């Protein structure tokens, strides 16, 4: 299949469910693979694979790559799912697919594309590697905050990649890790940061108003990150579950709700 997509489940029939997220091996936050494993039988599920960081593709280019692969498959799309910032990409992808066929849009803890998750990722990198890095690794945090004043998220992504390298490269060398493993980690970091930056160039709100949302109870996550006034009318309907953002997609109730929405929600 196309490198733009990864198959999470092969189901009967030709219908597809598309899932937008940036999943990496070993991440603490549950993934669509966890969610799909809990839903039992159902249609084929493909998960978006981000483009390599080379060329720094913007949000439109990421979406065009995925949509082209779906069109080439000739298969109908039953629903598009999006988790966290992936909800921005899911909205754009659903809008593109809806040009030729109606489809459903389902969001899990939907969050906007902006600098906040980019800075949070950099903080996680510093926390993970600081013990092995030279003194001063924490100084990159202030540099990252200063860089966040840039309006251009692509420029911010490039700056954060460089700041991550300042911490990761010496830390990996001190740990005795080879250059290849260090480069692999930084490639994933660069791909993720550019994926986040690309989401900031998209405008998901018109499509979100047609979507169903499933939200965790973690303060500031998904719909809870918007003010009550902004939250009103942000999505068509929402189900709130008493589960953390981290565990949302490994929760049976979230899996059952997603499966029901995929099965029952009217396409738009």
pLDDT of 152-210, one tens digit each? 899 999 999 999 999 899 989 988 888 899 998 899 999 999 999 999 999 999 999 99
pLDDT, mean over the chain: 92
Domain that holds residue 184: 115-199
CATH number of the structural domain spanning residue 225: 3.40.50.1820
- Average pLDDT rounded to a whole number, residues 39-47: 94
Tell me: do 215 and 100 sit in the same domain. yes
In a shared domain, residues 94 and 225: yes
Q: Tell me 33's DSSP state.
A: H
Residues 189 and 224 occupy one common structural domain: no
Which range among 64-68, 98-102, 138-142, 202-206 shows the weakest confidence by mean pLDDT?
138-142
Task: Indicate the residue among 199, 214, 248 that finishes a domain.
Answer: 199
Examine the domain organization and report whether 131 and 230 are in the same domain.
no
Say what the pLDDT of residue 53 is: 66
On the question of pLDDT at 264 being above 80, the answer is yes
109 and 16 together in one domain: yes
Structural domains counted in the chain:
2
| Orientation of helix 59-73 relative to helix 86-97, angle to 10° | 50
- Does 56 have pLDDT greater than 70? no
**Residue 202 in contact with residue 92, Cβ under 8 Å?**
yes
Q: What is the mean pLDDT of residues 3-16?
A: 95
- Residue 151 pLDDT: 67
Q: In this predicted structure, what is the pLDDT of residue 51?
A: 82
pLDDT tens readout for residues 104-124: 999 999 999 999 999 999 999
- Gap between the Cα atoms of 79 and 131, Å rounded: 44
Q: Which of 32-36, 185-189, 248-252, 264-268 has the lowest mean pLDDT?
A: 264-268
Domain boundary pick from 173, 199, 225: 199
pLDDT, residue 55, reads 63
Shared domain for 106 and 238, answered yes or no, is yes
Q: What pLDDT is recorded for position 70? A: 97
Q: Are residues 16 and 124 in the same domain?
A: no
E-assigned strands of 59-211?
Answer: 77-83, 104-108
For the cut 70, the answer to whether the pLDDT of residue 19 exceeds it is yes
Q: Average pLDDT of 211-230?
A: 96
- Considering the domain architecture, whether residues 186 and 138 belong to the same structural domain is answered as yes
Give the full edge-to-edge strand order of the sheet including 44-48.
Answer: 5-9, 44-48, 16-20, 77-83, 104-108, 212-215, 237-240
Q: What percent of the chain has pLDDT over 70?
A: 98
The last residue of one of the domains, among 199, 221, 255, is: 199
| 135 and 248, same domain (yes or no) | no
Q: Report how far apart the first and last C-alpha atoms of the chain are (Å, whole number).
A: 27
pTM for the predicted model, two decimal places: 0.93
Same domain for 107 and 121, yes or no, is no
Q: In the prediction, which pLDDT does 140 show?
A: 84
Radius of gyration of the chain (CA): 19
Answer yes or no: do 13 and 91 share one domain: yes
Residues 18 and 85 in one domain: yes
């Amino acid at each position: 299949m196309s490198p733009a997509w990864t198959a999470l489940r092969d189901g009967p029939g030709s219908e597809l469910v598309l899932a937008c997220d940036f999943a990496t091996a070993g991440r603490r936050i549950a993934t669509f693979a966890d969610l799909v494993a809990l839903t039992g039988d159902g249609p084929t599920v493909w998960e978006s694979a981000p483009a390599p960081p080379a060329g720094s593709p913007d949000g439109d280019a990421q979406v065009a790559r995925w949509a082209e692969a779906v069109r080439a498959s000739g298969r109908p799309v039953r629903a598009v799912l999006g988790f966290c910032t992936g909800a921005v990409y899911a909205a754009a992808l659903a809008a593109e697919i809806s040009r030729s066929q109606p489809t459903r849009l389902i969001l899990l803890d939907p969050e906007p594309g902006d600098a906040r998750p980019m800075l949070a990722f950099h903080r996680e990198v510093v926390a993970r590697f600081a013990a092995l890095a030279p003194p001063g690794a924490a100084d990159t945090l202030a540099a990252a905050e200063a860089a966040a004043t840039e309006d251009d998220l692509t420029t911010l992504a490039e700056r954060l990649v460089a700041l991550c390298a300042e911490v990761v490269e010496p830390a990996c060398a001190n740990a005795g890790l080879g250059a290849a493993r260090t480069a692999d980690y930084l490639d994933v970091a660069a791909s993720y940061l550019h994926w986040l930056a690309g989401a900031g160039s998209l405008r998901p709100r018109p499509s979100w108003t047609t979507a169903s949302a499933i939200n965790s109870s973690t303060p500031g996550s998904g719909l809870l990150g918007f003010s009550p006034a902004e939250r009103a009318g942000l999505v068509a309907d929402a189900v709130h579950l008493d589960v953390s953002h981290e565990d949302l997609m490994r929760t049976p109730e979230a899996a059952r709700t997603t499966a029901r929405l995929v099965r029952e929600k009217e396409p738009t």
